Every structure is written in structure tokens, then in C-alpha cells.
Structure 1
Amino acid sequence: MQGKVRWCGDLTFLGTSDSGHQVVMDGNSGGKAPSPMEMVLLSTASCSSVDVVNILEKARQAVNGCEVEIKAQRADSVPAVFTAIHLHFIVSGANVGESHVERAVKLSAEKYCSVSIMLGHSVEISHSYEVKSS
């Protein structure tokens, strides 16, 4: 896997992934685009969401929505690394089984989500979930 990041002026950068997709990042407190640290949080939640949705679909659950609310804490001093990240999944669908969601979140956290598992070596990561009928 490869990629590149190009400075665009001020503290704005354009990242290009190996697959050719691009994303703008802003090192100036996220004034123009997400900051790199915000991108880490979004990457963690989206990686885990891919797993959860995929696992639920394979279990033939009628999922029609999945959101993740992310809360994180950072160290007070430089480097201001994440010290804790909490991912709260809100899964909606018709008759989606709570036990299926619990299992999907657990499998993602412990086995499949590369981003979360990688960060978990230095950050306390926790998960919760709720199921909404729709």
C-alpha cells in the first residue's frame, strides 16, 4: 500500500491514496477540512463500520443504517496523542437482533478492524451499541 500527501499552502494538505482517491486535510485546527487527528478517528470508525455491516449482512440481518458516534480524549501535552477512543454504534433495521450486533461489534474490535486493533496497542478503545427498529 502506498500514498502521498502534498502541501497546498497554509497548513492544508492533499492526500492521494494508492487507489487514486483524494482527501483534503487541514493542520490548522480543521478550519478548511478535517485535521489529521480527526481523520484518524474517522478512519477508525469507518473501518469498524465496514466490519459490522458486513458481518450483519452475512448473518442475514435487515440492516438499513449504521452510524458511529466517536468520542476521544487526547493527552494534555505534546505529542497530544489519543489516550482513549469510544465508538458507539447505532444500527437500525427491521428486526435486527441485538445479539447479532453485539457479536459484530465484538468481532470487529477483536479480530477484523485493522485500524482499531493497531491503535489499541497504545490507546484505550471501547465500544458500545444500540439497535433501533426502522
Structure 2
Amino acid sequence: MSHKVITHWKGNMQFDSDNPSGKTLLMDTSQEHGGHNSGLSPKALMLSSLAGCTGLDVVSILKKMKVKFSDFRIDTYGELTEEHPKYYHSVNVEYHFYGDQLDKGKLEKAVNLSVEKYCGVMEMFRQFADVKIEILYHEI
């Protein structure tokens, strides 16, 4: 399976990028780098891709397991190298689950299945970064 993404320069430092789904997003850089901060940062988008990939896995697995939770959030932190080309050398992924009487065992199992087996973006990140995972439970 292959994907094709077309990224088109829109002037100054802005780029519009499509997706096989037909959706588009705008990328830009900060004013200090000549942009207008009008779009998403390409490097930060990588963290969003990581969170989105593992999040989709986790929700799908939890649905199959019939696990209840009221909210779910993923906080992703990336540390860039000092020298160019700057890339994420370490990444922390925090899975936050909210709910009443959370089934911690099944939630942990779902996260581990995503991290260790299903999430392709996670595997890509492991090729260049030290990835740490943390699961946090918020009983409400």
C-alpha cells in the first residue's frame, strides 16, 4: 500500500498539503523564521501523527473489549536535537484516561498492544528517538 500526498507552496512560508482522504491542512512557520504562524508546524505534526495513530488503535481495541471510559487524551512531548538537522531524539507519550471505575488492566493492555504491535508511526519514531510511554488514570 502506498500513499501520495501533494504539498503545494501558497506563498511566503505557507504550504497546503492534502491527504489520501481528500482533507487538507495548512503548514507555516513562526514569525522568527519568516512565516506568519498561520498553519501547523511540520515537526509538531509528527507528534500529532504519533498520537493520532496510537489513539486510533487504543480506541478501536477498547471498543472491541467493551471497556468504558468517559474521556481520553494523549499528551505528546518531543525533545529536538541542538544541531541541524534538528529531529526528535526523545519523545514522551502520556495516555490520560478519565472515568468512573476505570479497568486499568484492560486500558494498559490496549495501550501496550498499540505501542508494541499495531502503531506504525510509533515504530517509525523508534527508529530515531527514545520513546517513553506513561499511562495516567483520572477517576471522576
Q: Distance in 1 between matches of 2:73 and 2:5?
A: 27
State the AA in 2 paired with 1:25.
Answer: M
**Kept in 2: contact 1:56–1:63 (CA 8 A):** no
The structure carrying a bigger strand percent of its residues is 1
Q: TM-score, normalised by structure 1?
A: 0.93
1:133 corresponds in structure 2 to 139
User: For 1:121, which of 106, 127, 138 is the aligned residue?
Assistant: 127
1:27 corresponds in structure 2 to 29
Length, aligned pairs only: 134
- The alpha-carbon deviation at position 44 of structure 1 amounts to 0.4
2:11 corresponds in structure 1 to 9
Q: TM-score, normalised by structure 2?
A: 0.89
- Residues 51-98 of structure 1, C-alpha deviation per residue, up to 9 Å, x if partnerless? 111111211111221101111101000000100111101012332211
Consecutive unaligned residues in structure 1, runs of 5 or more: none
Consecutive unaligned residues in structure 2, runs of 5 or more: none
Q: Distance in 2 between matches of 1:97 and 1:76?
A: 41
Q: Distance in 1 between matches of 2:46 and 2:100?
A: 32
- Residues 73-131 of structure 1, C-alpha deviation per residue, up to 9 Å, x if partnerless? 01000000100111101012332211111111111111111111111111111110112
**Mean CA deviation greater in 21-30 or 88-97:** 21-30
**2:92 is the counterpart of 1:86:** yes
Question: What is the aligned-residue identity percentage?
Answer: 25
Q: Which has the higher Rg, Structure 1 or Structure 2?
A: 2
RMSD: 1.4
